[in-house]
Amino acid sequence: MPVLYALIVATLFPFALGPEDALLQRIAGGVVLVTVLLAMLLALDAMFRSDIEDGSLEQLVLAPQPLALMLGMKILAHWFTTALPLIVIAPLLAGMLHLPVQVMGVLMLALLLATPMLSLLGAVLVALTAGTRRSGMLLALMLLPLCVPVVIFAAGAVAAAQQGLPWVAPIAWLGAALVLALVLAPLACAAALRIALDA
Amino acid sequence: MSKWIPLWLHKLGSPPIFYRFAGTLRPWFLALALIAGAIGLYGGLVLAPADYQQGDAYRIIFIHVPSAWMGLFIYGVMAVASFIALVWRIKLAEAVAMESAPIGAAFTFITLVTGSLWGKPMWGTWWTWDARLTSELVLLFLYLGVIGLYHAFEDRRQGARAAAFLAIIGIINVPIVHFSVNWWNTLHQGSTVRILGPSKISMDMLWPLLTMMVATKLYYVASLFGRVRADLLELEGGKDWVRRIATGEQATGEQA
């Protein structure tokens, strides 16, 4: 479903901005990143919903294994089912927008580092809203400040590669941030879930 | 001496005592804020000389800069109160954190509006994707996220604790956003007023600015006290001390 959504959004851009190659080529990297981000946001909302409805989330909280570890696995599963398909079709989207082939590698690398970040950060916020009824718009509002740096560095790497500049620095920053998030986000997610479920 | 201060602080954490304490102090803070604001504005708008380059347009800093400081300062207060609320589960800290958020959002909004009013004649544009402007906008979104999350819960205390957690995530995020957008794009001038080392601003302009800063701080405290008082009444509604206030005020109202 997120894949279809991303495809539709990416298709709409040339209609809105005109089909000139030069323009599309310039914005292709950013458009693909933002499209992937929006598609992930669409799927984030449902991350814990079915678990809350059938009560299995409470079982997870009560289980003897550390909650952070299990949430980490849940986030990993979410990343496999949502982000990985998006990464697979990203070259197709980028190709539709005429992104040069030599930049494609950098785009894929940026997506590979940025999407787990978004899954991890998003999971913390989804956990916070777990006790509320409607959370779609609220989730977008809360996620925006957190994903600004991710978008800046990921898009910065693609733009630098497109201009033939060295692109390692922003990628390295993304990698560093990912390592940090990988350690801290499951813990924060567990704490947030305990608050939201009042456990 | 060293014993009664912690004891006093401990007592102040109880809602009825804070309610009376804040009620006594609030008019003083409000009056001082209005006086300091009047002096600061008179000094800034009338006494201070015009800028050699920007003319009279620079005078917006007497609103813009204190508001910007307050936007960050209140976020700091909110995060500290949130931390206290999460760790020690103090009801008063939750109220302080949650009632700070709308005031901080208002100051941040004023900063953005006055900034863009100034930007039109000076930079020739209402809005530009400059690092400081962008981080200020992100700060506003952080405030709105906290307010939104607080109101999304049916149980107010649970909402307060979730929003407090978000505020703490936000304060880790603020410097990251600040540095990343700085790296991305910057046009805004650097800081002119420094705490360490000499400021790059004339004394005639500096004193009204600092007076305005004091005025906004005092106003924040007065506003916060009023809001927290109202919040405590609502949270503690049905408890004995609230009932006594409600019936007592009614009785005096009938007499008058």
d(Cα B115, Cα A50) in Å, to the nearest integer?
45
**Min Cα separation A178/chain B (Å):** 13
Which range among A119-133, A158-172, B169-183, B192-206 shows the weakest confidence by mean pLDDT? B192-206
Q: What is the pLDDT along chain B (256 residues), one digit of tens a residue?
A: 567 777 777 778 888 888 888 888 999 999 999 999 999 888 888 887 777 677 777 888 888 889 988 988 999 999 999 999 888 888 889 999 999 999 999 999 999 999 888 888 877 777 877 777 888 888 999 999 999 989 888 888 888 988 999 999 888 888 887 777 777 765 555 556 655 555 667 777 788 888 998 999 999 999 999 999 998 888 888 888 888 888 876 555 444 3
User: Which of B169, B182, B185, B186 is best to mutate for the A interface (most A CBs within 10 A)?
Assistant: B169
The pLDDT score that the predictor gives to residue B253 is 46
Q: Tokens 């070259």 identify what position?
A: A91
d(Cα B141, Cα A138) in Å, to the nearest integer?
11
Report pLDDT digits (tens) over A134-152: 667 888 888 888 888 888 8
Number of domains in chain A: 1
Picking from A125, A148, A156, the nearest residue to B177 by CB comes out as: A148
Chain-chain contact of A146 with B169 (C-beta, under 8 angstroms): yes
Query: Would B15 be classed as within a structural domain?
Result: no
Interchain contact B168–A (C-beta under 8 A) = no
DSSP SS3 for B51: strand
Domain of B69 in residue numbering reads as 57-207
Both tokens of A142, joined, read 């809360």
Picking from A128, A134, A146, the nearest residue to B162 by CB comes out as: A128
What does pTM read for this prediction? 0.85
The pLDDT score that the predictor gives to residue A114 is 92
The pLDDT score that the predictor gives to residue A145 is 86
Query: Would B80 be classed as within a structural domain?
Result: yes
Cβ contacts of B152 on chain A, cutoff 8 Å = 129, 132-135, 138
**Min Cα separation A170/chain B (Å):** 10
User: Which of B176, B179, B185, B186 is best to mutate for the A interface (most A CBs within 10 A)?
Assistant: B176
Is the ipTM value over 0.85, yes or no? no
Query: Would B64 be classed as within a structural domain?
Result: yes
Domain of A7 in residue numbering reads as 2-196
Sequence-ordered list of residues with C-beta below 8 angstroms from that of A41, at least 6 positions apart, any chain: A122, A139, A140, A143
Chain-chain contact of A191 with B176 (C-beta, under 8 angstroms): no
d(Cα A97, Cα A100) in Å, to the nearest integer?
9
Interchain contact B129–A (C-beta under 8 A) = no
**Min Cα separation A146/chain B (Å):** 7
Number of domains in chain B: 1
d(Cα B62, Cα B108) in Å, to the nearest integer?
15
Interchain contact B153–A (C-beta under 8 A) = yes
d(Cα B168, Cα B86) in Å, to the nearest integer?
10
Cβ atoms B81, B13 nearer than 8 A: no
The pLDDT score that the predictor gives to residue B35 is 93
Query: Would B126 be classed as within a structural domain?
Result: yes
Average pLDDT for A93-110:
86
Interchain contact B184–A (C-beta under 8 A) = yes
Q: Tokens 């100034």 identify what position?
A: B118
Interchain contact B171–A (C-beta under 8 A) = no
Query: Would B82 be classed as within a structural domain?
Result: yes
Both tokens of A54, joined, read 């059938």
d(Cα B197, Cα B146) in Å, to the nearest integer?
36
The more confident residue out of B29 and A50 is B29
The pLDDT score that the predictor gives to residue B192 is 61
